[in-house]
Structure 1
């Protein structure tokens, strides 16, 4: 790592990182004279812009010896042109990593270049850190110092230990407040997974709780502006500053229900739109350079190992899928969905996943992905109806993965899912047409952060009756908190009564435990 001779100068307490939010982090800067002295040091720069760190900081994709640090310079984060108020030039950004929140034990520092070609984003890939260790980080540019973030490296390859991980999905800015992100941060997780629909492409609607800026996103400027608006949210900034994230997309980062090169509706400009959306996604996420887009392609599926406790197989179920069968939606009598040639993963990603199953030595193998994996008959009565956008629209692909989960080195198979704006819990059957067939894994589906509004307390008894392998349903907003140990996985379904109002409390609606070697949902 390139050493910087000048230490940054901002102090922050652990409490501020965990509970204070972006505003409190900013408020913990040193007093005016101390800060002025710090900025007068050689190499510190002079103030030329308004605060360029309006989008906060983040970290992601932890390894045993490193992690990605992210920020993006944007003194005007929601500018219509998508440039964030930045000049058309490369801006140096200094960074610093320490073992303590007071930055008295700095372990690495250096300088990165924020270029206009990538929206003045910075992705610093740290190396040579200690495994399983907590670190604090910050940036400086144009005479300003960023908020402080907390991150951690993955444990050593042979470490079991414990992992507290929260996962979330589907955060529509206009449909509610992002309080769920704050509640996640307050749970003090080691890791956060985001399973898609981080942002939505739609223009503002009359019924929105919060104003959405800009038109429906189609251009790079549109997507940058939309990401910029989301990233200004203090609850989201807090969650990013609290723990490393591992992210994958679903559909709304581009447009609703896209499938590879097929848009939802005919659109001659779709590939240009896809290219713009992919670039903006990379610019705004703590991803490694291996995910830097190349035209209309972006390599997103990857494997994150958390010691010998968990393998996270992060999937991309949008970029390589066949178009939805039978015109999409919930369909009955659709034989096309059972065509063995149809795939939601693509052949290459499927092989990568199954090879990972065969080679794993982890206690828990976890698929982080987007759409409902288990069979789900959504039509009460004798008629059966299935979502063509979910794995039910790609039956053979799902069955091959379920078979591999059962017949490989996988000890405990777990699927994590987003997309459907509801909490669900299910036991994955090798053969769902035989209700007594053994389970090969478990599926935990998180509700949305805001999408769908406040929700209600209806139990959806008709659908539960049609699907005996499904053990839980709830239509409130929130997230799922998990704790992995060598002996069990516990999942707590966290819900908020309202997202139409700020700062709602969270409570646990239901908890399940999965014991090592027994893919059964045990309510607790």
Structure 2
């Protein structure tokens, strides 16, 4: 429901239709200017309630559609977010100007306690490649205003695209200063590559945040309510909220949204599958509830189809991958090991048969100038003292070789892999044989550091020196925190590694530590 092509803001809202929709639920709580609200029944002034403590977000931009998100949580670190156990109507508005004077649609969505009073609004009928602004309202309270942008029409001529990617944001390891600077960039998109939360127990003093945390955070997450509270804690950070409200996001998960190094139905602690799948279902629901994901991707118990492709004109196709839900278990342990023959087993998979075929079909049929794999874990070979990480693609060599074979085909233009997970910045050339210095380069991988995980870090480490010395295809390493910014044209891809010198205290500066370019038709990165 909504009013299109209206320019008088909230007054264009059709109250009769709103009452009909709200009245369709037997347990709707009214938060309008009239009537008794839950806040009033508890002796609170509803004008003083802030239902938008977790901010606003948008995501999954298509040429004529985008998802708008918020969650009502006046007490975000309490069970239930401080909301009543009732459905609550949330009004929304989207306009072409930041003052919301030129409204194109308004409507109402019902925030259901079954989904933590989160709303996911699929706004359709928008113009391609157009900037929009949006806001939510509950009674007297309005949310912050968010900015979003639709994608250009698939296949249409499109000359430039600017996006950032990030991963690994352990709240207790420091401040999200990198997001403060990301929010100031004029971005078309943000890609989050996993570890949005961490499931570990948090010290009662919040570690580097030096903020006392309630007892529920001092043990590892398992239940739905515990995962909800963990997302709420992380999302209270104002810089994360600012980055969400500045541009549309697409998101995938890695392991810590559920359990460290899990693989399909197998947990780190080797719990019975039925027990772990219950935990995974809790984690997947909380993930969906707190991020701007389309309702069509809502999880079904412990299953959620997260991988999908987004196209931006004829310039760039982005394949967002899921390297956790379908993979074979790690072999020889899940850490760094030497001489593990099982990692060459051709029966093992990283993506699962269906996702792998989907990706191959996408890459070989794409007409875009740049083909992107947005995924979680180190793709290129990364040896250190003849040891490899079994949780990365090094532990799934035939699966990686198959994708590299696809990248080498003439019909796959300019493959780029973007990666998170490892809490450090790298640049790697993707080769048909990583052990042969003369082997063909078929693509480029840009690996981004963490937002906070690993705390302050340093520019170089002994491990980084070994990796650079022992892997000729890896040309760059930095162990500080930050994010990665990419500017893409039809002729060239530029990647800027944006780093902050510290995160254990707020208000750090930021700098571009290194920049690389890839020329269209010439795989491999050149440092500027």
Q: TM-score, normalised by structure 1?
A: 0.90
Deviation string for 1:320-352 (max 9, x for gaps)?
A: 001001111111100000001111111111000
Matches within 5 A, 1:398-417: 398-407=400-409, 409-417=411-419
Residue 390 (structure 1) shift: 0.1
State whether residues 357 and 408 of structure 1, in contact with CA within 8 Å, keep that contact through their aligned partners in structure 2.
Answer: no
Aligned to 2:307: 301
Deviation string for 1:458-481 (max 9, x for gaps)?
A: 252222111000010001000111
Which secondary structure does the structure 2 equivalent of 1:58 belong to? Answer: strand
> Does residue 489 in structure 1 map to residue 493 in structure 2?
yes
> Does residue 430 in structure 1 map to residue 440 in structure 2?
no
State whether residues 10 and 106 of structure 2, in contact with CA within 8 Å, keep that contact through their aligned partners in structure 1.
Answer: no
CA distance in 2, matches of 1:128, 1:503: 41
Deviation string for 1:439-498 (max 9, x for gaps)?
A: 110000000000000001225222211100001000100011100000000000111000
Which secondary structure does the structure 2 equivalent of 1:475 belong to? Answer: strand
State whether residues 337 and 395 of structure 1, in contact with CA within 8 Å, keep that contact through their aligned partners in structure 2.
Answer: yes
State whether residues 59 and 244 of structure 1, in contact with CA within 8 Å, keep that contact through their aligned partners in structure 2.
Answer: yes
CA distance in 1, matches of 2:352, 2:71: 33
Instruction: State the superposition RMSD in angstroms.
Output: 1.9
Which secondary structure does the structure 2 equivalent of 1:227 belong to? Answer: helix
CA distance in 2, matches of 1:302, 1:344: 16
Aligned to 1:246: 250
Matches within 5 A, 1:246-395: 246-268=250-272, 269-379=275-385, 384-395=386-397
210, 219, 224: which is aligned to 1:220?
224
State whether residues 8 and 140 of structure 1, in contact with CA within 8 Å, keep that contact through their aligned partners in structure 2.
Answer: no
Aligned to 1:193: 191
235, 239, 250: which is aligned to 1:235?
239
Which secondary structure does the structure 1 equivalent of 2:309 belong to? Answer: strand
CA distance in 1, matches of 2:509, 2:105: 38
State whether residues 89 and 110 of structure 2, in contact with CA within 8 Å, keep that contact through their aligned partners in structure 1.
Answer: yes
Residue 408 (structure 1) shift: 5.3
Residue 128 (structure 1) shift: 0.9
Residue 143 (structure 1) shift: 2.5
State whether residues 427 and 470 of structure 1, in contact with CA within 8 Å, keep that contact through their aligned partners in structure 2.
Answer: yes
| Number of matched pairs | 488
CA distance in 1, matches of 2:111, 2:73: 11
State whether residues 92 and 112 of structure 1, in contact with CA within 8 Å, keep that contact through their aligned partners in structure 2.
Answer: yes
State whether residues 90 and 110 of structure 2, in contact with CA within 8 Å, keep that contact through their aligned partners in structure 1.
Answer: yes
Which secondary structure does the structure 2 equivalent of 1:495 belong to? Answer: strand
Which secondary structure does the structure 1 equivalent of 2:208 belong to? Answer: coil
Residue 272 (structure 1) shift: 1.2
CA distance in 1, matches of 2:9, 2:520: 47
State whether residues 168 and 451 of structure 2, in contact with CA within 8 Å, keep that contact through their aligned partners in structure 1.
Answer: yes
Question: After the TM superposition, which of the residue ranges 456-465 and 365-374 deviates more from structure 2?
Answer: 456-465
**Which ranges in structure 1 are unaligned for 5 or more consecutive residues?**
10-38
> Does residue 166 in structure 1 map to residue 164 in structure 2?
yes
CA distance in 1, matches of 2:296, 2:357: 20
State whether residues 191 and 244 of structure 1, in contact with CA within 8 Å, keep that contact through their aligned partners in structure 2.
Answer: yes
Question: After the TM superposition, which of the residue ranges 199-208 and 300-309 deviates more from structure 2?
Answer: 199-208
Matches within 5 A, 1:49-198: 50-79=49-78, 81=79, 83-157=80-154, 158-198=156-196
Deviation string for 1:409-467 (max 9, x for gaps)?
A: 22100000000000000000012132211111000000000000000122522221110
Residue 207 (structure 1) shift: 8.0
CA distance in 2, matches of 1:92, 1:168: 33
Deviation string for 1:344-393 (max 9, x for gaps)?
A: 111111000000011100110101100000011122xxxx1110000000
State whether residues 9 and 101 of structure 2, in contact with CA within 8 Å, keep that contact through their aligned partners in structure 1.
Answer: no
CA distance in 2, matches of 1:136, 1:41: 28
Aligned to 1:24: none
Aligned to 1:3: 3
Aligned to 2:459: 457
State whether residues 96 and 103 of structure 2, in contact with CA within 8 Å, keep that contact through their aligned partners in structure 1.
Answer: yes
Residue 2 (structure 1) shift: 2.4
Deviation string for 1:494-521 (max 9, x for gaps)?
A: 1100001112111011100000011121
Aligned to 2:507: 503
